[in-house]
Structure 1
Amino acid sequence: MRFRTLGGGRGPEVSALCLGTLPFGTTVDEETAYAILDRFAEAGGTFLDTANNYACWVPGATGDESELLLGRWLRSRGARDRTVLATKVGARPDPSRGPEWPANLEGLGDKAVRDGIEGSLRRLGTDRVDLYYAHIEDRDVPLEETVGALAGLVRDGSVGLLGASNHATWRLAEARRIAEAQGLPGYRAVQQRHTYLRPRPDADSGLQRETDGELVDYAEAHEDLTLLGYSTLMHGGYARPEQPLLDRYDHPGSVVRLRVLREVAAEAGATVNQVVLAWLMDGRVPVVPVLGVSSVAQLDESLAALDLRLDAAQRARLDTA
């Protein structure tokens, strides 16, 4: 396993790959989820990612499932002390705001943030999370309120490092400016959708935000900010070329980038998925991929990317395709 330190040295040391647990307890059953978690830990993985709403959109689910399963696994393996644990607040269904998700998101007001961490700590069976994300932008709440609420959690010891997910770069920068001006802890990690293919400029990603050049440039200029990427392997889209691309990536530019990606994979004796992960981890601004897997075999394929090194010429071809 390879390791790096979050937040430009201000946060914990984590494995270079993070295991996402979004489907655990819903579309991935407990036995399979435990096998994946055990294999990740056996390989030296220390960084686990969840949220307080995963996966509330699955019929019959509440959003509790992923955190509850992860809490059971941590207890059964005695693994909390050797695990860097990340969860999120802001996108959980709030019945008082209506019956339909995502129209009824809890948001990022002071009460939602405080209630959110209490619920997550209870489900995870711990007294502290190492990284806590503001999950979805909430433009109905002043940034000062969200910044202050999150800083309060750091102050009382229930949260270590703060992060943002699915935020516009200017909102991220402004929140960090507010925190710095008030002497408060600010965002030190940002998790966005990030893969090798680029979306169409007019693509509608809904609540999700894609890593773009502006965010990469901002992170390069601010060494205290760590980039993380989710949906890095497009839900298996690279591995199943017979299936149509997700609509946001279905445009002529993707044809060129896919051709180069497959050429580099053939040269390197690697899978396309492994090349994507290596490209992310060793880029101009290194990214921590958040793996979304549903089997041990898929995890093992991703873990092998840790040993793949793209040479300068290969990386240049990928970057300029």
Structure 2
Amino acid sequence: MRRFTLADGTAAGSLCLGAMWFGTRTDEKTAFALLDRFVEAGGTLIDTADNYAFWAEGGAGGESETVLGRWLADRGVRDEVVISTKVGAQPTVPGTSWRESGEGLSPSAIRSAIEGSLRRLGTDHVDVYWAHVEDRTVPLEETVDAFASLVEDGTVGVVGASNHALWKVERARATARGQGRPGYTCLQLRHSYLRPRLDVADADRHVFGDVDEETLDYVRSEPDMSLWAYSPLMSGSYTRPDRPLHPVYDHPGTPARLAALQEVADKTGATVNQVVLAWLMGGDPPIIPVIGVSSVEQLDDALAAADLELDEDLRRRLDDAGGFGL
């Protein structure tokens, strides 16, 4: 499996297992099987959040971290994996959304959340800690200070921003640099091979959630920054007829990119999903896909992408198809 290195020197596999549904849609037995197989195959990077999955039936938030913590304790592999979790979007009022009552990014919220995450995970530190969504009600300097303090006291390895506007990320990084303190070195956004329309409002998609050319250019220019992509396989839409593409992909560029994707899959003997993941991991900049799977078979298909190399001609065919959105 390809490897990358976090800003603090921690080495990790370049394919990340997303644990969002562990403890809700994915029962504990299945979650353990997925985690076991992932580690057996050389995977190390596991992503969760304190609010996963409060919106699922029977969920309140914290279920994913709890199941992951039980697996870590049972298998005794904490030092073999890289744990990534998040703060900011756990509702504080039952029955409401993160937009209505999310815990936010105040220093007190961050400190309380990390204590809860450590307890559920059964560990004394997390390797990557994310600001899950923006909180513009809190002065940025206070959020930067709170995250930097966690890195400085060893509670957190590195910190990152998910679902943030790029200017907000850079302002936070500049604030941390000016103080000589740790700042965001990871960026997690929605990204896949197909390009969404940028002129269509969609209340269901997270604000600032999609990668664009400006994002890629920014990450290329920042040597300490890694880019992570959630929903890289778009909930099965590439391969499952019962999972139609979201309306934001309804534009002339989509058929061209789907055709290129199938052409490359046919030439390599790989699956379409494997080509998408290999395209992400082998690009410039390289991107860490956060994959969500519900069976070992699905996981094995994704893991095979870690060894798929796309030559220059195949990558050019993919890159040139359909343009970069509208």
TM-score category by the smaller chain? over 0.9
Which amino acid is the alignment partner of residue 91 of structure 1? A
Structure 1 position 315, deviation (Å)? 0.6
Separation in structure 1 between the aligned mates of residue 10 and residue 73 of structure 2, nearest angstrom: 21
Alignment of 1:19 with 2:17, yes or no, is yes
Unaligned runs of 5+ in 1: none
Equivalent residue runs for 1:218-257 within 5 Å: 218-241=218-241, 243-257=243-257
What letter is aligned with 1:62? A
**Partner amino acid, structure 1, of 2:74:** S
Q: Of residues 100, 104, 116 in structure 1, which corresponds to 2:96?
A: 100
Structure 1 pair 59/159, CA: closer, same or farther in 2 (3 Å)?
Answer: same
**Percent identity among equivalent residues?**
57
For residue 207 of structure 1, report the CA deviation from its aligned partner.
4.2
TM-aligned CA deviation for residue 136 of structure 1: 0.3
Q: How many angstroms apart in 1 are the aligned matches of 2:272 and 2:133?
A: 30
Q: Determine helix, strand or coil for the equivalent of 2:74.
A: helix
Count of residue correspondences: 317
Q: Decide which of 97, 113, 116 is 2:113's aligned counterpart.
A: 116
Q: Is the 8 A contact 2:45 2:83 kept in 1?
A: yes
For the residue of structure 1 that corresponds to 2:101, the secondary structure is coil
* Alignment match, 1:306: 306
Runs (5+) with no aligned partner, structure 2: 322-326
1:316 alignment partner in structure 2: 316
* Kept after mapping to 2: 8 A contact 1:11/1:161: no
Deviation digits for residues 87-137 of structure 1, max 9, x if unmatched?
Answer: 000000112xx7411211111111111111000000000010011000001
Q: Distance in 2 between matches of 1:193 and 1:107?
A: 20
Kindly tell me: are residues 207 and 23 of structure 1, through their superposed partners in 2, closer, same or farther at Cα, counting changes over 3 Å?
farther
Look up the match of 2:182: 185
Paired residue secondary structure (1:54): coil
Cα distance, 1:241 vs. partner? Answer: 4.3
Q: How far apart, in 1, do the equivalents of 2:230 and 2:176 lie?
A: 26
Q: Contact conserved, 2:236 with 2:243, CA < 8 A, in 1?
A: no
Per-residue Cα deviation, 1:128-162 (whole angstroms, up to 9, x for no partner): 00110000011111111110011111122111111
Name the structure 2 match of 1:289: 289
Q: Which amino acid aligns with 1:140?
A: T
Q: Deviations over 1:1-49 (max 9, x none)?
A: 2211123xx3310011111100011001111111100000100111111
**SS in structure 2 at match of 1:285:** coil
1:59-98 aligned within 5 A: 59-95=57-93
User: Which position in structure 1 is the counterpart of 2:324?
Assistant: none
Inter-partner Cα distance in structure 2 for 1:247 and 1:228: 24
Contact 2:87 2:110 in 1 (8 A): yes
C-alpha displacement of 1:69: 0.1
